[in-house]
């Protein structure tokens, strides 16, 4: 009997690790979600992963991606802030802003911080105006949005389309959890992008119209930075149609998990959803 008991103990012990390895699939409030291993590209979680949804300011990931892919990009090139950029914020019901001041000269690098941290629609406009081509601002903006769509096509994002440079769409600005995750993974290959999106806050010295200087302070809207171990980005988004979105990434023990939640029901639920999916991704 002692031998049988010992065998039973051994059997139970052998089974325990297998039981512990079963990871429950999380439930999220977001309409859509997707998570993958950034190193292998392996899909780890899907929920309506290929359903087209409004993206809100997660659109700005593509804005940054297009800028960073420009040939001979000079991140220290200066851009003069135009009145059109600040008027745009007002015209769009005080859209999220980097609070750029007309006449100031800011660098492309600083515009990227203003774009990705406080989610500045004025910074997005400035970048579209700078990197689009054409003799008028409208033509340059149209050209830039064209570059966004060409990039989406080149990256194989079949369910993605942009009609704005910042996510304030006009009826045809959409993507999917899978496509946005793939876009973010592509953007994270740029060291400048990685540096910017993991920054919790920054203080930038800019040149004023009169040749003096002022400091611009921007805080990152991403709630995972500093609250989730290993968080390295990426971008929040929200809007009447988009609800609450978050493209997220974290690295632990050389393993990077990247994913997206779209159309979550609240700011808090968006964060909870993202943390659940990251936890799940690291256990898979």
Catalytic residue, from 47, 60, 275, 276: name it: 60
Q: What is the rounded CA–CA span in Å between residue 158 and residue 175?
A: 9
Half-sphere exposure at residue 43, Cβ-oriented, CA atoms within 13 angstroms: 11
Instruction: Assess whether 186 carries a catalytic annotation.
Output: no
Q: What is the rounded CA–CA span in Å between residue 75 and residue 267?
A: 32
Residues 193 and 68 sit within 8 Å (Cβ to Cβ): yes
User: How far, rounded to the nearest angstrom, does the alpha carbon of residue 110 sit from its chain's CA centroid?
Assistant: 17
Catalytic residue, from 54, 119, 175, 264: name it: 119
Q: What is the rounded CA–CA span in Å between residue 211 and residue 197?
A: 30
Nearest to 177 by CA among 258, 250, 255, 252: 258
At 158, phi and psi to the nearest 5? -75, -20
Half-sphere exposure at residue 112, Cβ-oriented, CA atoms within 13 angstroms: 29
Instruction: Assess whether 229 carries a catalytic annotation.
Output: no
> Which tokens sit at 148?
């966004």
> Is 235 labeled as ligand-binding?
yes
Q: What angle do CA 78, 84, 86 make, to 5 degrees?
A: 85
E-only strand ranges, 212-254? 213-219, 231-239, 243-252
Catalytic residue, from 47, 54, 57, 276: name it: 57
Instruction: Assess whether 119 carries a catalytic annotation.
Output: yes
Q: What is the rounded CA–CA span in Å between residue 124 and residue 66?
A: 11
Between the alpha carbon of residue 8 and those of residues 4, 13, 22, 134, 194, the distances in Å are 6, 9, 22, 78, 52
Binding residues: 235
Binding residues for substrate: 235
Active site (catalytic) residues? 57, 60, 119
């Amino acid at each position: 009997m002692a031998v049988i008991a010992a065998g039973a103990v051994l059997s139970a012990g052998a089974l325990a690790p297998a039981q512990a390895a079963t990871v429950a699939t999380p439930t999220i409030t977001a309409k859509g979600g997707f998570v993958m291993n950034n190193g292998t590209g392996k899909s780890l979680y899907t929920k309506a992963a290929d359903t087209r949804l409004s993206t809100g300011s997660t659109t700005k990931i593509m804005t940054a991606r297009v800028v960073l892919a420009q040939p001979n990009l000079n991140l220290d090139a200066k851009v003069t802030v135009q009145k059109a950029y600040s008027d745009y914020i007002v015209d769009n019901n005080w859209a999220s802003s980097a609070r750029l001041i007309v006449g100031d000269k800011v660098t492309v690098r600083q515009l990227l911080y203003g774009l990705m941290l406080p989610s500045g629609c004025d910074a997005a406009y400035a970048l579209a105006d700078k990197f689009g081509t054409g003799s008028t601002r409208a033509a340059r903006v149209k050209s830039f949005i064209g570059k966004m769509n060409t990039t989406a096509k080149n990256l194989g994002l079949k369910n993605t389309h942009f009609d704005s440079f910042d996510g304030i769409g006009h009826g045809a600005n959409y993507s999917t959890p899978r496509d946005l995750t793939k876009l973010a993974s592509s953007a994270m290959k740029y060291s400048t992008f990685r540096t910017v999106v993991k920054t919790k806050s920054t203080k930038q010295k800019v040149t004023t119209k009169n040749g003096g200087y002022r400091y611009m302070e921007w805080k990152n809207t991403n709630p995972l930075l500093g609250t989730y171990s290993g968080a390295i980005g990426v971008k929040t988004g929200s809007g009447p149609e988009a609800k609450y979105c978050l493209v997220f990434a974290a690295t632990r023990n050389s393993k990077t998990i990247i994913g997206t939640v779209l159309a979550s029901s609240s700011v808090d639920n968006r964060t909870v959803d993202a943390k659940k999916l990251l936890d799940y991704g690291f256990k898979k």
